[in-house]
Each structure stands twice: as structure tokens, then as C-alpha cells.
Copies of this chain bind each other. A is one copy, B any other.
Amino acid sequence: MSLLVVGSVAFDTVRTPFGEITEGLGGSATYFATAASFFTDVRLVAVVGEDFPKEHIAFLKQRRIDLAGLEHSMGKTFRWRGEYGYQLNEAKTLQTDLNVFQTFHPKLPFSYTNTPYVFLANIDPVLQLDVMKQVSSAKLIACDTMNFWIDGNKEGLVKTLAGVDILIINEGETRALSGEFNLVKAANKILSLGPKALIVKRGEYGALMFNGKKIFTVPAYPLESVFDPTGAGDSFAGGLMGYLAQNAPDGRIGDKVLRQAAIYGSVMASFCVEAFSLDRMRSLTQDDIRRRYAEFVDLSSYEYQT
């Protein structure tokens, strides 16, 4: 089944203790779409400026990502500059130039409006809601958000969440959105706002998935070298949603398929952080993905009989 992502395409300038990259390809929609493209057909809605090079277009096309929804605007592409210390879980933003993303108002090509699977990356919840209206027959909608919207437009966000099936956010966002420090209590509050499932991303510690009945602990892959955590969260969402679009075609997300999807999310995030920008995705194969899923099993399985 086709999967739509609405979000950002950007140039990221990133410094970590292990190196740096200047104006590498980045953005939430880029990471998500690329990760998901290993599982299903992806349609992308985003905006770039006049400076967006053909080679990036060629890469996305090579991943068979539908770019009918990629708007080319007068002006410059969104740029982000940040750095990470050894504690790679949190980026320090040094500069944000929204440029053409500032006035981004996602408008779906007609060919996209029947897309059954939808991921709303971290954009203004008002725009997220507007996209939801444009894909009124969607079977499954997931979304991300950030503290900027939780603090700045909680009312709008709550309206959006009422129509969302899966919310994928990090620990700090979970606490800010719910007003609860304890994650179990926080999850119960957030699920009461509408989502059928909440996935709390915890960086190198993996993730927790809540569906109101059960909790699933999603392991992270302990890597010997993490080069750049930028995009890990969107790659996680891309792996998860891509797997669901491929394996839950009726849009019903049972516990079993959702758990497997979360593991694939963690698999794709583990590849993402192995190199700067999307570079690890450029050489990634289906065999690599299968092998790492098997490594996750090896990493987290134990005898269930006592």
C-alpha cells in the first residue's frame, strides 16, 4: 500500500565528536521517505528552494519515491545547523533558516489524495490537520510533533491528535504533552486524546510502545560507532510505517504486526546513525535489513519458559 509523508527537506550542517558535514541532505520527510522506501511505495510532500541540486532529486527518484508533491519554490531550501556532544541523544541547534519552509502550506497532488497510509512529520499541527482533511479516506495516520508546538499551540495539536492513529514522539515531548513525568501515566493521558498507539522514542535506549492494553519495549541496537544521530527518529518512523503499509494492508494494527514494525523502525534508525546525512541508506540492501532484524532477535530473545 502507498505511504504518504508530509514534512521537511533540508540541508543539515552537523558536527559530532566523530566528524562534521556541511549542507548534507536532511529533513524529516527525506529521512522518513528513504527509510520507508525499502518497504513500500512512498509519496512525498515537501518544499525545496531553487538551490536544491539535481543529484538529491536523482537519489530520491532512485529510491522510487514519488516526488509529484515536492514543491519547488523561489528562494532557498530550509537549512539547519547543529551539533552533538558525546551524549548523542540531544542536538544543540546553532542555527535554523526556515527559508522556503517558512511559508510551506502542503497541498496534495490529486494523485496522492487516496493514499491509505500517512505520516505527518513534525510541522505545525494546523497544517497536519489540513493534510488529514485532504486524505479523508486514509486507513492509518501517524504523526510526530515537538515541544515548540506542544508549548505554542497545544489546542491545535490536540485537535490533530483526535484523528491520529499512532503518535511517535520522544520522552521529553511525552512528558510535556501529558504533564506527567511517569511515562506509563503519560501514555494513558495521551492515548485518551485519540491515538490508538503511542511510541515513545528514547534514543540509544530504544523505545516504548503503548496501545492502552499492552506495553512493548523496543530495543535499540548497541552500535560500536555512532556517527550522527540526526534523522534517527524519522528513520524509525519510516521503517515502522513502511513495514505497516507493506504488512497490514487493511490498516488494522494488531499488537503482533505493530511490534514487528517497531523493530523494523529500530533497525532503520540503527542504520541511519552509522553515517552522516542519509549516506548509509545509499548503499543499504534488503539483505542488510534482514540480517539486522535477525541481529535484533539475537539481541533481545531469551527463554520464555521458567
> A residues near B, CB below 8 A?
86, 181-185, 202, 205-206, 208, 214-217, 219-220, 222-226, 256, 259-260, 262-263, 290, 293, 297-304, 306
Contacts and interface: CB of A to CB of B under 8 A. Distances in A.
A283 to B, nearest CB: 21
Residue among A206, A217, A260 with most chain B CB within 10 A: A217
27 contacts: A182-B223, A182-B225, A182-B226, A183-B222, A184-B224, A202-B205, A205-B205, A205-B206, A208-B222, A214-B299, A215-B222, A215-B299, A216-B302, A217-B219, A217-B299, A217-B300, A219-B219, A256-B302, A256-B303, A259-B301, A259-B303, A260-B303, A262-B302, A290-B306, A293-B306, A297-B304, A301-B304
Nearest to A202: B205
A223 to B, nearest CB: 7
A220 B183 CA distance: 13
Contacts of A185: 224
A172 to B, nearest CB: 12
A306 B260 contact: yes
Nearest to A200: B222
Nearest to A293: B306
A217 B206 contact: yes
Given A202-B205, A205-B205, A214-B298, A182 B224 contact: yes
A260 to B, nearest CB: 5
Nearest to A182: B224
Contacts of A205: 202, 205-206
